[in-house]
Amino acid sequence: MSVLIPDEIPEVLKKTKGYSLLVKGGPGIGKSTLALTLMVEKANVNGFYVSTRVKPDKLYEQFPWARKYVKADNIIDATELLSGIRSEGSALDSGESAGDFQFLKDIKTKVEGLKDPTVIIDTWDAVHASLGDRAVETEKQLTDWPRQKNLTLVLVSEFMDTRVLEFLVDGVVTLSDSEIDGRRVREVRLDKLRECEIKNLKYVYTLKNGIFRRFPPLRIKPPDEPKPWIPFSDEKCPFYSGAPELDEAVGESLKGGCIMIEICNNVPYEWANLLIRPFVLNFIAKDRGVIMVPPSELAPEQIRRDLTKYIPEKKFETYVTIFADSLNENSLPYVLNNWGKSEEEDEKIWLQVEEQKRSESWGHLLRVMNADRLEQTLGVPRTVRKCAQAISRGKLGGDLTIITLRPTMDATRQLRNMSDLYLKMIERFGACYVYGEMPRTGLYNVAADNSRGFPVPELTPVV
């Protein structure tokens, strides 16, 4: 599968002999970046870049990695070629084919005999305007060329009316942008791909480091070969998220206090757990107590099975207490069923558990509380009080408290004001994103990184 551009594009290029692709969108949206990234995806060193506006040195300055795929001799300055087009009006009058204009001859000569070349014309708008009445005939012949010579042709367009060209080319990709809470979001839409099933109509993408990268729908699976969790160092901060990008974005907030994660209604808790699990594993691995109130759909046994892939079962049972109802609660030493007790009794038991965990643990405690579960069971006022008490005790003890909630909860507005760090998790086109409301951060795509044998979140800025 592709790791940079929409999966459907490399798939169709592999199974077809020659393909023409139109990439369109407004200024600065990433059209040239997508076109050049296509060469990276193909591992294609036979790339040609026909430019109406960029000199070779400027291209390499903007895209240093392009040197590997587009040699300086293969960057064609189309400005001079366009002036040649205008002087070739007599060629058409003498019966010469529009496809034989000199600017096309030069390109065709350069790619002749090469294996699987890629030709980018950026932008086609300027060429189209110079061709005048001959534009449509030239486009017809140009879009036949890829099939004849087994090459990939990418035409970049910014302003022109492309309705006729869209009919002629094999594929049409449109780049645009939108907004999420004042944060720019870039989107790529697959309008047309002949000989290919379009599985995902749209993707969000980023231009970080001058390369196009799309974000696929999030699919979470455990590591093929789980390995023991490697604790993070306490050298700079006692609490690490497991994602350097998030640690850097929120800075001082991760040194304690309360982190709230608002999980939008179409985001499964499993996605939020990508951010939460590293905190839990790190605390257990460092012999620190963990107290949890999980969502109702997550059984304590599931939590134990998940975490003990990466830490010893004995450590889990020593340092973890889960407040939940369980089918096997009487035989599970790490589960306490507090539901149905009075608020006074409930708080007394919580304090006893915290005191016990603190005496058995080294250093700080971690509380992970699902406010949605609390609100369903205890009601709004009691949920707010319970969370406030946990946050207050946590700050006094130098602990970390993580509270997850949903935007549709009645208690959300009151709880939001109690946090030191407030994150939002959203879904877009099947992928997961997170951003900070307090402190304010940019938008990050969230993926699962299993490369070390245990899951940590991989956050990529959407820029």
The C-alpha angle with vertex 146 and arms to 141 and 147, in degrees rounded to 5, equals 95
pLDDT band at 450 (very low <50, low <70, confident <90, very high): very high
Q: Which residues pair with 458 in a beta bridge?
A: 447
Q: Which CATH class is domain 244-461?
A: alpha beta
pLDDT in tens, 130-186: 777 888 888 998 999 999 889 999 999 998 788 899 999 999 999 999 999 999 999
**Both structure tokens of 25:** 């969108």
Based on its alpha-carbon atoms, the radius of gyration of the chain, rounded to whole angstroms, reads 29
pLDDT at residue 2 greater than cutoff 80: no
* Range of lowest pLDDT (90-94, 381-385, 423-427): 90-94
CATH 3.40.50.300 domain extents, the chain: 8-215, 244-461
pLDDT at residue 128 greater than cutoff 50: yes
Closest among 71, 35, 39 to 56, alpha carbons compared: 71
Rounded to an integer, the average pLDDT of 356-382 is 92
User: Residue 382, CB half-sphere, CA atoms under 13 Å: how many?
Assistant: 16
pLDDT in tens, 281-320: 999 999 999 999 999 889 999 999 999 999 999 999 999 9
- Give me the pLDDT at residue 83, please: 56
Cα distance between the two ends of the chain: 23
pLDDT band at 326 (very low <50, low <70, confident <90, very high): low
- Give me the pLDDT at residue 69, please: 83
pLDDT in tens, 32-77: 999 999 888 887 678 888 887 767 778 888 899 888 888 888 888 7
State what percent of residues in the chain have pLDDT above 70: 90
- Give me the pLDDT at residue 235, please: 67
CA distance 258 to 394: 8
- Comparison of pLDDT for 255 and 213, the residue scoring more: 213
Classify domain 8-215 at the CATH superfamily level.
Answer: P-loop containing nucleotide triphosphate hydrolases (3.40.50.300)
Q: Report yes or no: 18 and 151 within 8 Å, Cβ to Cβ.
A: yes
